């Protein structure tokens, strides 16, 4: 098993600042690009918890972690937080020469996504994770899309990038297709179900043709080249 002596405690804390809730595997994927045992992570995470620099709790018979500032009153949102982190790890690892924009930098724009990533091409990918309960609430996602249509010009101006909004929802894919057929959301809005999103081989998240464009219901990759 390979060791990663250059991964320091501060690196784990920096990752936790852009993560929401995270499993040990999320940290391993973040630092190594693969899934498996990683001694450094197994040692450092409990140490950071003991020192009060990370918080942990047991969720579905496993430990999950987050920065202390995120843990206040957030125990009810672990499922959502894990989905946000899963999306970030997978997409960032697919192309790491980019700028991660945490959710707090979007406050004041009328829409606050889970996070954003700005690429050298000028594209700004905005990520929205939806639990099953949120997606099926009448009008919730459509109202969020309508707000984005109003707020995207200001977001593009602030971050100097052309916005694409990706919705990943923890529901069957057919329900996403039904939503698109019903509302036909015009604009830079792409959709995927969580199961399909996670089925993509690690590192191929940007080039997999699994993202449904709301305007025509066809599937595209996030990156064409």
76-89: pLDDT as tens digits: 689 999 999 999 99
Q: String of b and e for 173-184 (b: at least 16 CB within 10 Å)?
A: beebeebbeeee
- Residue 3, pLDDT > 60, answer no
d(C-alpha 76, C-alpha 210), whole Å? 30
pLDDT greater at residue 13 or residue 140: 13
For the chain, the domains span 9-72, 81-220
Which pLDDT band, with edges at 50, 70 and 90, does 71 fall under? low
The answer to whether 111 and 144 are in contact (CB under 8 A) is yes
- The reply to whether CATH 3.40.1710 applies to domain 9-72 is no
Which pLDDT band, with edges at 50, 70 and 90, does 36 fall under? confident
d(C-alpha 74, C-alpha 101), whole Å? 21
Mean pLDDT of 57-68: 92
Average pLDDT, the chain: 92
Mean pLDDT of 92-118: 95
Mean pLDDT of 79-107: 96
pTM of the entire predicted model: 0.93
Mean pLDDT of 114-134: 94
pLDDT in tens, 126-185: 999 998 888 877 688 999 999 999 999 999 999 999 999 999 999 999 999 999 998 889
Mean pLDDT of 82-107: 96
Which pLDDT band, with edges at 50, 70 and 90, does 225 fall under? low
- The residues near 75 (Cβ < 8 Å, ≥ 6 apart) are 57
d(C-alpha 155, C-alpha 147), whole Å? 12
Q: What is the pLDDT at residue 224?
A: 78
Which pLDDT band, with edges at 50, 70 and 90, does 51 fall under? very high
Mean pLDDT of 107-121: 95
Q: What is the pLDDT at residue 75?
A: 62
């Amino acid at each position: 098993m390979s060791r990663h002596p250059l991964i320091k405690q501060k690196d784990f804390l920096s990752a936790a600042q852009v993560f929401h809730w995270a499993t040990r595997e999320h940290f391993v994927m973040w630092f190594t690009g693969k899934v498996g045992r990683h001694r450094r992570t197994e040692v450092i995470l409990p140490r950071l918890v003991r020192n009060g620099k990370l918080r942990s709790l047991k969720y579905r018979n496993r430990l999950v972690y987050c920065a202390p500032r995120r843990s206040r009153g957030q125990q009810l949102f672990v499922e959502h937080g894990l989905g946000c982190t899963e999306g970030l790890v997978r997409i960032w690892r697919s192309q790491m020469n980019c700028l991660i924009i945490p959710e707090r930098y979007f406050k004041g724009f009328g829409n606050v996504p889970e996070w954003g990533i700005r690429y050298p091409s000028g594209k700004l990918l905005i990520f929205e994770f939806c639990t099953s309960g949120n997606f099926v609430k009448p009008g919730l996602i459509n109202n969020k899309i309508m707000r984005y249509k109003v707020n995207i010009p200001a977001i593009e101006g602030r971050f100097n990038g052309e916005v694409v909004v990706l919705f990943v929802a923890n529901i069957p894919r057919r329900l996403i297709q039904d939503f698109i057929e019903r509302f036909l959301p015009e604009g830079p809005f792409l959709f995927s179900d969580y199961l399909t999103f996670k089925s993509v081989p690690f590192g191929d998240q940007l080039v997999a043709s699994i993202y449904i464009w709301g305007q025509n219901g066809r599937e595209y990759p996030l990156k064409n080249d």
